């Protein structure tokens, strides 16, 4: 048996994660404990046991495995029963099952909590599988009361070659749809008892009103959040009368003295920076060439030069973030990051590290100081992190620009969502690619706000002129 222990242990570790994803944590812990105790008490076995205790710190089978590995006597009847069940043959069978296409079986759903109006709601999305091809999403409150349910059939899609991918995306969108509908108040009448809840059969695709921004280098995003592949051409494109007209206005408001100045650059391109047409000489955080505003094919674009502190766009609706994206709340520059991998295996002793218990967390938000140093770091409790000056997980009581409940960062169906909770000063996200702008958009460069006003129909645009 000894020569096969290592590959079987490796398979046990793989299968444990698969079992957890399938909602079978007890089986995962038993499998890990069995194969931790089945071989030598070495680093490999200790890693298996550490993973079992990470999943269920109070597992009796895992504790018995530890005693057997350390030579401590006890009644090992529960462990012996688990050893009989989780044999090498059973592992081989599960490995075959894990590797088979899973589209014929119901896919693992999504489960997330959502905070709204000082209450915690739970959203659950499930797939019934190809035999009963529909997806249902439930909104729970009060510890289990169903507020609203959405159900959609995908019977017309079961013969697609990519049906597994299609169903997964549909589940993700339906989960997000329910979360955003709750957040925007669509179910308030139901919550207040003025309207019935119940299940609703929907015959249209999920409506996910979640905006994307060009937060990654070389990305190009339209004003409606649609990502496109082509990149607007760089360089000046003044032609004839285009070089003599002003197509937009930027009104800058300085934070220090609340004074304002208006810029109406001519032509189809203007540089934001101390050397550009939109010059901010008193803004200490502005690079000489921070970004460009360019007009191309009837659209107006913000193009970041990646060389300075960046230009931030005020969000008007919930937006999707990626790990590494930066945003501003009041005077605070923040970044959403992936949580680091835990390193809580036993040492060479082996001795397990003693510490405060960890809670489940989907991401973390890090404060960035002037000069580049990192400040406070807060982990999301579960999948939610609220920011404010009075209430929340990340609180800035001395920042007068932060509202009591300013914004929310949450993970829903694998997507990080940033939502402004009606703050007075707004929430701004850093743009790193090509972002289309619209009339009324507000930019932030350092501590200077710039409000965009379109004053002429853009070249190659059929829009009517704006009254200036």
Q: What is the location of CATH 2.60.200.20 in the chain?
A: 220-310+429-454
The CATH classification number of 220-310+429-454 equals 2.60.200.20
Map the chain to HEC letters. Answer: CHHHHHHHHHHHHHHHHHHHHCCCHHHHHHHHHHHHHCCCCCHHHHHHHHHHHHHCCCCHHHHHHHHHHHCCCCCCHHHHHHHHHCCHHHHHHHHHHHHCCCCCCCCCCEEEEEEECCEEEEEEEEECCCCCCEEEEEEEECCCEEEEEEEEECHHHCCCCCHHHHHHHHHHHHHHHHHHHHHCCCCHHHHCCCCCCCEEEECCCCCCCCEECCCCCCCEECCCCCECCCCCCCCCCCCHHHHHCECEEEEEEECCCCCEEEECCECCEEEECCCCCECCCCCCCCCCCCEEEEEECCEEEEEECCCCCCEEEECCCCEEECCCCEEEECCEEEEEECCCCCCCCCCCCCCCCCCCCCCCECCEEEEECCCCCEEEEEECEECEEEEECCCCCEECCCCCCCCCCCEEEEEECCEEEEEECCCCCCEEEEECCEEEECCCCEEEECCEEEEEEECCCCCCCCCCCCCC
| pTM more than 0.85 | no
Q: What is the CATH code of the structural domain delimited by 316-425?
A: 2.60.200
- From first to last of its 468 residues, the chain has per-residue pLDDT tens of 344 578 888 888 889 888 887 778 889 999 999 999 988 888 888 989 999 988 888 889 999 999 999 999 999 998 998 898 899 888 888 888 776 554 455 677 888 888 888 888 999 999 988 888 999 999 998 767 899 999 999 999 888 888 888 998 999 999 999 998 998 889 999 998 899 888 999 999 998 877 888 887 777 777 776 777 655 555 555 555 666 788 899 998 876 666 788 999 988 889 998 888 888 877 888 888 899 999 888 889 999 988 788 999 999 989 999 999 999 999 999 999 999 877 767 777 777 777 777 778 899 999 999 888 999 999 998 888 999 999 889 999 999 999 999 999 999 888 899 999 999 999 999 999 899 999 999 999 988 999 999 987 777 665 544 444
The two three-digit tokens of residue 65, written as one number: 């495995």
């Amino acid at each position: 048996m000894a020569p096969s222990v290592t590959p079987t242990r490796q398979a046990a570790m793989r299968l444990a994660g698969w079992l957890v994803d399938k909602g079978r944590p007890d089986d995962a812990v038993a499998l890990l404990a069995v194969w931790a105790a089945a071989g030598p008490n070495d680093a490999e076995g200790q890693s298996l046991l550490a993973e079992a205790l990470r999943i269920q710190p109070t597992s009796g089978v895992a504790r018995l495995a530890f005693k057997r590995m350390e030579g401590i006597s006890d009644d090992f009847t529960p462990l012996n029963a688990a050893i009989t069940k989780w044999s090498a043959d059973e592992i081989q069978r599960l490995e075959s099952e894990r590797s088979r296409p899973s589209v014929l079986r119901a896919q693992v759903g999504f489960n997330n909590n959502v905070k709204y109006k000082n209450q915690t709601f739970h959203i659950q999305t499930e797939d019934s599988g190809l035999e009963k091809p529909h997806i249902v999403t439930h909104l729970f409150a009060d510890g289990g009361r169903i507020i609203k349910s959405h159900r959609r059939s995908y019977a017309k899609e079961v013969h697609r070659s990519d049906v597994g991918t299609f169903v997964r995306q549909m589940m993700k969108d339906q989960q997000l749809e329910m979360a955003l509908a709750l957040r925007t108040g669509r179910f308030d009448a139901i919550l207040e008892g003025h309207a019935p809840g119940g299940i609703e059969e929907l015959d249209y695709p999920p409506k996910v009103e979640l905006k994307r921004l060009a937060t990654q280098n070389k990305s190009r995003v339209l004003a409606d959040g649609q990502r496109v592949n082509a990149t607007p051409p760089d360089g000046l494109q003044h032609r004839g009368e285009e070089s003599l007209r002003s197509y937009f206005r930027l009104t800058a408001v300085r934070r220090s003295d609340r004074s304002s100045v208006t810029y109406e650059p001519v032509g189809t391109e203007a540089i934001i920076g101390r050397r550009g047409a939109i010059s901010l000489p008193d803004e200490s955080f502005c690079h000489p060439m921070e970004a460009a505003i360019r007009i191309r094919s009837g659209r107006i674009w913000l193009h970041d030069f990646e060389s300075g502190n960046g230009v931030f766009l005020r969000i008007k609706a919930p937006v999707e973030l990626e790990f590494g994206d930066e945003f501003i709340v009041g005077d605070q520059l923040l970044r959403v990051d992936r949580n680091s991998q835990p390193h809580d295996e036993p040492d060479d002793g082996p001795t397990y590290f003693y510490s405060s218990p960890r809670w489940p967390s989907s991401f973390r938000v890090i404060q960035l100081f002037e000069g580049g140093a990192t400040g406070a770091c807060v982990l999301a409790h579960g999948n939610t992190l609220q920011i404010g000056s009075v209430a929340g997980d990340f609180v800035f009581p001395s920042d007068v620009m932060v509202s009591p409940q300013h914004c929310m960062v949450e993970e829903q169906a694998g997507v990080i969502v940033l939502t402004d909770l009606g703050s007075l000063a707004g929430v701004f996200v850093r743009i790193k690619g090509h972002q289309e702008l619209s009339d009324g958009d507000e930019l932030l460069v350092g501590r200077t706000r710039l409000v965009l006003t379109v004053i002429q129909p853009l070249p190659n645009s059929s829009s009517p002129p704006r009254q200036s």
